[in-house]
Amino acid sequence: MEHTPIRKLLLKLAPPVMLSLLIQSIYNIVDSYFVASYSSKGFLALSIIFPIQLLMTALATGTGVGITILISKMDGEGKKGSQDHIVKTGIFAGILNALVFAFLGCILIRFYYSISSNILTVQNLGISYAKIIFLLSPGLFVESVCTKIHQAKGNMMLPMAALVSGAILNVILDPLLIFGYFNLPELGIRGAAFATVFGQWISMLIVLIPLLKRYDLRSKISKHILVRIYLLGFPSIIMQSLYTLYIVGLNLILKLFSEDAVTALGIYYKLQTFFFIPLFGLQQVIVPIISYNYAAKKESRVNQIVHDSLFISYFFMLLGVITFWLIPDPLMKIFHADQNVLKIGRIALRIIALSFLHAAYNLIYAVYFQGTNRGGDSLKVTVLRQILLFVPLAWLLHYQGLFFVWFTFPLTEMITSSYCFYLKKHKCL
C-alpha cells in the first residue's frame, strides 16, 4: 500500500470490489423485477422499505469501516502484533448490530408503513417482508464485518466470491419462492425476503469460516476496541444513515402528490444503484489506502489517490447521465411501470442525472476527509448534504409543483461540492 504506484494499486484492488457490488446491484434489480412482476403493490412496499434496508447497510458497512481503519492504522504505523482481539470484537459488533436492529425494527415497522402509505395492502406486504429481513439480519451484519477485515488485509477476491455466491443464490431462489415453482409454496413478497437473507447467510459463511481458521478467537472481547470501532466508523454510519433519512423524507413529500411519484423514486434508486455501486466500491477500497499512507506520512500518495479516484468516478457518472437521458422509458419498463409512472419518472431521471458528476466529487472527498483523520469535516459535508439541503429544498420546491421537486438533487450536489472545495482549500494536509 505504501510503494505500489497508485493507479496500479487501484486497478488491482478496485475492480474485484466494483464487480462484486455491480453483481449485487444486478441481482437487486432482478429481485425487484420479480416482485414487480408478481404485484405492483409489492414493488411499492419494497420501494418504501428500501431506505430502511439502506439503514441496515449503513450500520453494517460503517462498523466494518471502523474495523478496516483500525487494522490499517496498526499496519501503517508498523504495529504488527496480534489482531485476534480486534477480529473477535468486530464479529461481536456484527452480532450486536443484528440483535439491536431486529428488536427495534420489529417494534417500529408498523408505524413506519402507516405514515409511508395509505394503502393497507402495501402496509401489510411491507411489514411481512421487513420482519423476515430484520429477524435474520445476522447474515448481513456479520458478513459486512468479515468482508472489511479481509479487505483491510488486501484480500478483495474472497469477499467478491462471497457476494457473487449470495447473489446467484438470491436470483435462483427469487422466482422459486415468490411464484412457488416446482411445488414450492407460493410466498409472494415473503419469498423475496427469504431469498435475500439466504443469500446473505451464504455470503457470511464464506467470509467467516476463513477468519475462524486464521485467528484465535478465544481471546476476550475488548470493550475499548469495541468503542474505537464504532468511533472510527461513526462518520460512515452517519453519512449512510442520513442518506436513509432523506429518502424517507423525499418519499413523504412525494406522497403529497401521488403514490406513483413514490414508485418513480423507488425505480430511480434501483436504477441509479447500477451506476453508483462502482463509486461505492471505490470508496471502500481507498479508505484503508488513504489511512495507511496518511499514517505513513505519504501526503503526495494521498493526493494522487484522490485524483485517480475522481477520474474513475467521473467515467461511471457520465455513463449514468447518458443512459438516463437517452433511454429512461425502457429502463423503467423493467419494473412494469404504468403510463403514469413513466410520465413522472421520465422527467425525474433526466433531471436527477444532472447531479451525478457533483455527487461523485462529494462522495470521494467524504471518504478522503474520513481517511485523513478529518472525520469532523466528513460529517459536516454529510449533514449539509442530507439534512440541511435535500429534504428542506424538496419541501420548499414542492410548493412549485412536482416538476421542481426533482431539481432538489442537482441543487443539493452543486452546493455541497462547493463546500467540499472550500474545505479542501482551507484545510490542506
Q: What is the dihedral of CA 373, 374, 376, 382, to 10 degrees?
A: -120
Residue 108 covered by a domain: yes
Mean pLDDT of 405-415: 96
pLDDT computed for residue 141 by the predictor: 95
Rounded Cα gap, residues 395 and 156, in angstroms: 42
Give me the domain span that covers residue 161: 6-426
Residue 236 covered by a domain: yes
- Residue 410 pLDDT exceeds 60: yes
170, 130 contact by CB (below 8 A)? no
**Residues 94-140: tens digit of each pLDDT:** 999 999 999 999 999 999 999 988 899 999 999 999 999 999 999 99
**Rg of the chain over CA atoms, in angstroms?**
21
Query: What is the residue type of 204?
Result: M
Residue 1 covered by a domain: no
Q: Which residue is listed with cell 426533482?
A: 406
Mean pLDDT of 371-386: 82
User: Can you list the pairs that 110-119 forms with residues at least 24 positions away whose Cβ atoms lie under 8 Å?
Assistant: 112/48, 112/52, 113/45, 113/48, 115/252, 116/48, 116/248, 116/251, 116/252, 116/255, 117/44, 117/45, 117/48, 117/255, 117/259, 117/262, 118/255, 118/259, 119/41, 119/44, 119/259
* Interior angle at CA 222, CA 280 and CA 72, nearest 5: 35
Cα-flanking dihedrals φ and ψ of residue 53, to 5°? -65, -35
pLDDT computed for residue 277 by the predictor: 83
Rounded Cα gap, residues 146 and 144, in angstroms: 6
**Residues 219-270: tens digit of each pLDDT:** 778 888 899 988 888 877 877 787 788 889 999 999 999 989 999 999 998 8
What H or E segment, with its residue span, contains residue 230?
helix 223-255
Residue 379 covered by a domain: yes
| Closest C-alpha among 56, 22, 188, 186 to residue 133 | 56
Instruction: Tell me how many domains the chain contains.
Output: 1
Residue 62 covered by a domain: yes
Residue 392 covered by a domain: yes
